[in-house]
Structure 1
Amino acid sequence: MKGQKGFVLMTKRPFSGFFQRVARWQSLHHERQALASLSDDALKDIGLNRGDVEQDSHLHFWQDPLRK
Structure 2
Amino acid sequence: MSAPDTNIDKQQKRHYGPLWGFAAVLVAVGIGIFVVPAATEEISEDAGTISVTDPVEASE
TM-score when scaled to structure 1?
A: 0.42
Larger radius of gyration between Structure 1 and Structure 2: 2
- Structure number with higher relative contact order (C-alpha < 8 Å, ≥ 6 residues apart): 1
TM-score when scaled to structure 2?
A: 0.45
